[in-house]
Chains A and B, each alone.
Chain A
Amino acid sequence: MFGLLSTWSDWATSLSTLSEHFPVLVVVVPMLSAPLCFLSRNGRAARGISFFALLSCLLMVIHLLGRVLDEGVVSYRLGGWPPPLGIEYRYDQINAFVALIVAFVATVVVPFGQNKKAFRVPAGRTNVIYAVYLLCTSGLLGMCVTGDLFNVYVFLEISSLSAYTLVAIGAERRAMMSAFSYLTMGTIGGLFFLIGIGMLYQMTGTLNIVDLSMRLYDVSSVRTLSVAFATLFVGVSIKLAVFPLHQWLPNAYTYAPPKVSAFLAATATKVAFYVMLRIIFTIFGRERSFEQMNLDRILLPLSIAAMFMGSIAAIYQTNIKRLLAFSSIAQIGYMTLGISLDSLTGLVGGIVHLFNHALMKGGLFLAVACILFRLGSVKIDDMRGIGRRMPWTMGAVVVLGLGLVGVPGTVGFVSKWYLVLGALERELYVVAFLTLVSSLLAVVYVWRLVEVAWFSDPKPGIRMAEVREAPLTMVVPVWALAAATIYFGIFTEHSAGVARLAAAQLFGGTP
């Protein structure tokens, strides 16, 4: 009995020494689990390894977010070298929050029922999918937590390269082509980003983000600075799929396996949005970005264009995955609108929408995976009358869809509330009005799904009577996300509360 107690206390002490290393383990655990998955040569074992790796990652991120909220910034020196010289992992309110979203979505997606038909990999090699998936997660987490700008680029490449692979293993042959165009655009984006980093390094001689932001105060060469800002901004915009640079996104999300679409839609663009926030608010600072560079003049029209163009294009799609992909472009427009309003409330809206959209799109793409599993098709026309056959799945689609519209009581309402308030604060009445109008467009495409699912008769040739509800392993994660959209729509202190702290910290200028 006492022996057990002493091992328990030993264990607790070693856990508390280990907790010192949590900041780096968040990235290292998934990265080292990837080769283990690869070596296991067994899909089931790989799935188990990745689930436990990501679950431990999620718990560590939760612990770190708690520490950040209590004590402030948590910094970890890699190799023991002090920050401006060595690489530093730095957790503050904003990136711990984004890392939490990434770790959460990555963990939920793994146990989600596996549909072998959705992946085009040789039998017996499914373990490789998990290896690549863990590398992608590790890259995304690394981009969030690192305090070194070049390190951001390295992790950006790790996550992008593995994301291209994940898209390319989609069941249809066109997945290959869309992965290739994703690769082309992504590489151009990465290149722009690297050029920007090079210029900043040449001006300041440092790569540490905090150090960089302080040294940039003294830089007088406005021209190099504007060019660096422009290249970094364009590079990240491609990764984020801001309106005219979004061409890669619809095809990539449409032809990727649905689980992968759910993961990428909920994490990859979110992390890119976080990097954009860092560049605009931390590195260059609010004043420089908005008053010298006039960022709002370009980002505001682009955001509004994205909101409308994305939603209108979504209305005309015949494939539900493509519909959701175009809706993502519109939702990214809402997030960038939050930046371009140049007001604290607007920024809260943008950041909280990052969280909310991750829940909604993650849930919707997982629901599509359920539909594909039972119906074998993702064409909206084939889905006629499916609501009666798969009531739980389609019910979740409706709840999540209402979130996209922004109905009160769902998360979508919270973000739009802050965005509209932000626009009103800045006396941009037209922008507030347009935000509301674009929500009406979301009603149209969500209603199309409802109408097809419940108010039409099955299409001839589709054996709707044989379609059953998806298995529990698939329905439960979807409903977990759907329930979260309602929970965080009503109790906003954990989502909007943290977003408000994060926005205040970014807006204050000093990191």
Chain B
Amino acid sequence: MNVPKHMRMREKLILRVAAKSLLPFFFLFALYVQFHGDFGPGGGFQAGVIFAAGIVLYGLIYGIEAAQAVIPRIWVEIGVAVGVLIWGGTGIWTMQSGGRYLEYGKLDPEHFVHGQHLGIMFVELGVLCTVASGMTLIFYLFAGRGR
């Protein structure tokens, strides 16, 4: 590609350093939103978007090949499906424990609230997995067009 030298991302030292040093905080913040979702605002969807944003940022600065070397496309595709299975599997698990579909209270026979907590955590993990993978997959597909 005929991009002038000063426009190339390889030359943008500040962006490269800043992005790399910010990345751990992206993922940490995603996990914070994920697990805080049990107690307050937040949850799997938001956490998934933040997580994917980290990957997108990495892809923008270092190129899509670098991003796909860290998280290959096949993982992302599997992640989309596995998230749905985690979510639905939690429902099957509650039925196995003698409750209705997604009746989390039954997951812990001794403690209703603890069961609710557990169920929501698993369902939100499924959502995180599907949303983060879905967002990344969309980015990969669009960024990979015409290559």
Asked if residues A35 and B100 are in contact (CB atoms below 8 Å), the reply is no
> At the interface, yes or no: A436 with Cβ under 8 Å from chain B?
no
B82 touches A80 (CB 8 A): no
- B101 and A28: CB pair below 8 A? yes
> B66 interface residue, CB < 8 Å from A?
no
**Interface residue from A21, A32, A131 paired with B85 (Cβ < 8 Å):** A32
**Chain B 16-43 interface mask (CB, 8 Å, partner A; 1/0):** 0000000000000000000000000000
Kindly identify which residue among A34, A38, A79, A131 contacts B102, using a CB–CB cutoff of 8 Å.
A79
1/0 contact string of B64-90 vs chain A (CB within 8 Å): 000000000000011011101100110
**CB-defined contacts of A28 to chain B, threshold 8 Å:** 88, 91-92, 101
**Closest-CB distance, B109 to chain A (whole angstroms):** 14
Q: How far is the CB of A395 from chain B (nearest CB, A)?
A: 43
In the bound assembly, the distance between CA atoms of A132 and B105 in angstroms comes to 32
Which of chain A's residues 265-304 have a Cβ closer than 8 Å to chain B?
none
Say if the beta carbon of A39 comes within 8 Å of chain B: yes
Closest to B74 in A: A41
Known A24-B100, A36-B81, A79-B100; further 18 A-B contacts with Cβ < 8 A: A21-B100, A28-B92, A31-B88, A32-B84, A32-B89, A35-B84, A36-B85, A38-B77, A38-B81, A39-B78, A76-B100, A76-B101, A79-B101, A79-B104, A80-B100, A80-B103, A80-B105, A131-B81
Interface residues of A (CB under 8 A from B): 21, 24, 28, 31-32, 34-36, 38-39, 76-80, 131
Q: How far is it, in angstroms, between the C-alpha of A39 and the C-alpha of B88 when the chains are bound?
A: 15
Find chain B residues with CB under 8 A from A34 CB: 84
A21-B95, A28-B91, A39-B78 known; A79-B103 Cβ under 8 A? yes
Taking the closest CB of chain A, its distance from the CB of B33, in whole angstroms, is 23
- Rounded to whole angstroms, the CA-CA distance of A28 and B103 in the bound complex is 15
Q: Are A35 and B81 in contact (CB under 8 A)?
A: yes
Cα separation A24 to B88 with both chains bound (whole Å): 11
Complex CA distance for A38 and B82, rounded to whole angstroms = 10
Task: Report Cα–Cα, A35/B87, bound state, in Å.
Answer: 11
Name the residue in A36, A80, A131 with the highest tally of chain B Cβ atoms < 10 Å from its Cβ: A80
Q: How far is the CA of A24 from the CA of B104 in the complex (A)?
A: 16
A79–B101 CA distance with the chains assembled, in angstroms: 5
Q: Which 9 residue pairs are nearest across A and B when measured between Cβ atoms?
A: A35-B81, A80-B103, A32-B88, A24-B101, A79-B102, A35-B84, A38-B81, A80-B100, A39-B81
Q: Is the interface of B mostly helix, strand, loop or mixed?
A: helix
Contact A35 B91 (CB under 8 A): no
Q: Mark B30-59, 1 if CB is under 8 A from A, else 0.
A: 000000000000000000000000000000
Give the distance in Å from the alpha carbon of A35 to the alpha carbon of B134 in the complex. Answer: 13
Chain A interface secondary structure, helix, strand, loop or mixed? helix
User: In the complex the two chains form, is A78's CB within 8 Å of B81's CB?
Assistant: no
Complex Cα gap A250–B56 (Å): 40
Residues of A within 8 A of B84 (CB): 31-32, 34-35
Closest chain-A Cβ to B60's Cβ sits at a distance in Å of 27
Interface residues on B, range: 20 to 34
Which residues of B sit under 8 angstroms from A77, Cβ to Cβ?
100
Alpha-carbon distance between A38 and B40 when the two chains are bound, in angstroms: 34
Q: How far is the CA of A36 from the CA of B84 in the complex (A)?
A: 10
A selection of 28 A-B contacts at a CB cut-off of 8 Å is A21-B95, A24-B100, A24-B101, A28-B88, A28-B92, A31-B84, A32-B85, A32-B88, A32-B92, A35-B81, A35-B82, A35-B84, A35-B85, A36-B81, A36-B85, A38-B81, A39-B78, A39-B81, A39-B82, A76-B100, A76-B101, A78-B100, A78-B102, A79-B104, A80-B100, A80-B103, A80-B106, A131-B81
CA distance A34 to B81 in the complex (A): 8
Report the Cα distance A195→B85, complex, angstroms: 32
Chain B contacts for A32, CB-based, 8 A: 84-85, 88-89, 92
Q: Are B101 and A78 in contact (CB under 8 A)?
A: yes
Q: State A32–B102 Cα separation when bound (angstroms).
A: 14
B contact residues around A78 at 8 Å (CB): 100-102
Instruction: List chain B residues, Cβ under 8 A from A24.
Output: 91, 100-101
- Tell me how far the C-beta of A327 lies from the nearest C-beta in chain B, rounded to whole angstroms: 37
Minimal beta-carbon separation of A46 from chain B (angstroms): 12
Measured between beta carbons, the chain A residues less than 8 angstroms from B101 are: 21, 24, 28, 76, 78-79
Q: How far is the CA of A35 from the CA of B84 in the complex (A)?
A: 7
**Residues of chain B within 8 A of A35, CB atoms compared:** 80-82, 84-85
**Residues of B contacting A131 with CB < 8 Å?**
81
A77, B95: Cα distance in complex, Å = 12
Residues on A with beta carbons closer than 8 Å to the beta carbon of B95: 21
Chain A nearest CB, measured from B128 CB (Å):
15
Docked CA distance A347–B140 (Å)? 51
CA gap between A78 and B91 in the complex, in Å: 10
Contacts of B91 on A, CB cut-off 8 Å? 24, 28
Of chain A, the residue at the smallest CB distance from B82 is A35
Write the nearest CB–CB distance from A162 to chain B, whole angstroms.
13
Smallest Cβ-Cβ distance to B98: which chain A residue: A17
Closest beta carbon of chain A to B16's beta carbon, Å: 35
Give chain B residues whose Cβ lies under 8 Å from the Cβ of A31.
84, 88
Most buried by B among A28, A32, A36, A79: A79
CA A451 – CA B44 in complex, angstroms?
Answer: 61
Bound-complex Cα distance A32 to B92 (A): 10
With both chains docked as a complex, state the minimum distance between the C-beta of B111 and any C-beta of chain A, in angstroms.
Answer: 16
B85: which A residues are within 8 A, CB to CB?
Answer: 32, 35-36
Q: How far is the CB of A141 from chain B (nearest CB, A)?
A: 14
